[in-house]
Amino acid sequence: MFGLENKATPIIGVDIGASTIKLAQFKRDKNILSLVNFGVAPTPEGCIENGKIVKGDIISEALSSLLSLHSFVGKRVSASVSGQLVTVRQITVDDIPRQPLDDIVKWEMEKHISYPIEDAVFDYQVLSRSHTGDGGIKANCLVAAAPLEIVNALVGVIRKTHLEPVFIEVEPFAELRLVDYVSYKRPDLDAKTIVMVNIGSTITSVNVADQSVIRLTRMIPFGGARISQAIASTLGITIERAEELKRESVNMDPQANLEAGTEAERATSAALPIIDELVLEIRRSLNYYTTRFESDRPLHLILSGGTANLKGVADYIEVSTGFTVEINRLLLDVAKYDPSMFAESYLIEMAPMFSVATGLSLREFEAAAARKRSDRKKAKPVEAGESLLTYRPGSEGL
């Protein structure tokens, strides 16, 4: 009656990780964004290897069950690819007249990936151009690339679940979109270089963004599973019990004063060396960034992933690195929610796990967010369609 039958349903953000599958969906009504639903389920064991879905039928069944359980609306989805084979970096190339820049970028990217460029899906944006002393032009480009087989496997699962893959993109851009979306409410974020640290089950990503542009991305072979394994080995307990202790008893707060010999103190002592390894890798990444990119903007870390909820971990990393740190609970700043459906305490607990799914689901709302940011002089508007590795139905190889 009111034309709703012709209106596309909101996009569902789909984040398929090594340990969990996360879904998030938002809707806009009269310029107000609200949470439709979100849900999480364990990823069936052995279904993902090196970032690639290897058992599509099983993942499809798990995804279908999760969609039904939480009554998501529609079939339009946005999903991401991630892992050590996914590359995001800045490159500088010669912008040669009468030679397609696509070919020049492609040739340069061959140096930065470990698989043939013919087996890759890649996209790029020109960030800036500059003139050289001999009259030439240099193009500074942000490039993203992923193995075609990883993208195809993901798209295959989406289609097998009878969903429509509207966008496929690399994980860092989904996380950055979430930060950008709330920056008009959080002007403090605009004044800083944002370091998004997503601690997954097996991989931790460190993505540095300055003024809404990804400057550096790094994948560290470290995840929350290593902490659980260390606790289980040290205490001689099962992984399941170690997981419980990690969630409930481990406390990284230097002021926690845990009683010596207790299970909580022993579990924390087992976790500490693993966390210190992560801190060292974060510091190495940031040292590299500050050496390569000259910027006087302060660094601010935002922790995502289930391990971000580890008691005291944000304070511990802040003290260890000397940079300000917060846990990614930006989901609560993004939209309104019905308190009869979603308890605030539950949203606070779950929000760090949903940074990617939330950013993916916001894909079609980013133009409106850019308009809000553009009202502030310091804001940098972001045009819709900036994301890299955007899937276009009918594209070759997809």
Residue 388 in this model has a pLDDT that exceeds 80: no
Tell me what the mean pLDDT of segment 35-55 comes to: 93
Tell me what the mean pLDDT of segment 325-331 comes to: 95
> Are 104 and 94 within 8 A, CB to CB?
yes
Residue 11 in this model has a pLDDT that exceeds 80: yes
Q: Please report the pLDDT score of residue 26 as a whole number.
A: 94
Residue 379 in this model has a pLDDT that exceeds 50: no
Q: Please report the pLDDT score of residue 385 as a whole number.
A: 38
Residue 229 in this model has a pLDDT that exceeds 70: yes
More confident residue, 177 or 254: 177
Average pLDDT over the chain reads: 87
Helix (H) or strand (E) holding 241: helix 239-248
Q: Which residues contact 238 (CB under 8 A, 6 or more apart)?
A: 232
Domains present along the chain, CATH in parentheses: 87-145 (3.30.1490)
Report the half-sphere exposure of 262 (CA within 13 A, side-chain side): 11
Tokens coding 374: 């553009």
More confident residue, 29 or 265: 265
Where would I find the H helices in 70-195? 101-109, 148-160, 171-182, 187-190
Secondary structure class of 71 (helix, strand, coil): coil
- Cα separation, 213 vs 175, whole angstroms: 12
Q: Please report the pLDDT score of residue 376 as a whole number.
A: 46
Query: Confidence class of residue 377 from pLDDT cuts 50, 70 and 90?
Result: very low
Q: Please report the pLDDT score of residue 174 as a whole number.
A: 92
Q: Please report the pLDDT score of residue 84 as a whole number.
A: 85
Q: Please report the pLDDT score of residue 4 as a whole number.
A: 30
**Cβ-based burial of 154 (10 A; exposed 0-12, middle 13-18, buried ≥19):** buried
Residue 372 in this model has a pLDDT that exceeds 70: no
Instruction: Convert the pLDDT of each residue in 240-283 to its tens digit.
Output: 999 999 999 999 997 888 999 999 999 999 999 999 999 999 99
Tell me what the mean pLDDT of segment 348-362 comes to: 95
Q: Please report the pLDDT score of residue 255 as a whole number.
A: 85
Instruction: Convert the pLDDT of each residue in 194-219 to its tens digit.
Output: 999 999 999 999 999 988 888 889 99
- Cα separation, 137 vs 209, whole angstroms: 25
Q: Please report the pLDDT score of residue 279 as a whole number.
A: 96
Tokens coding 294: 């000259």
Say which DSSP state 311 is in: B
Q: Which residues contact 121 (CB under 8 A, 6 or more apart)?
A: 145, 146, 147, 148, 151, 389, 397, 398
Q: Please report the pLDDT score of residue 152 as a whole number.
A: 94
In the chain, what percentage of residues exceed pLDDT 70? 90
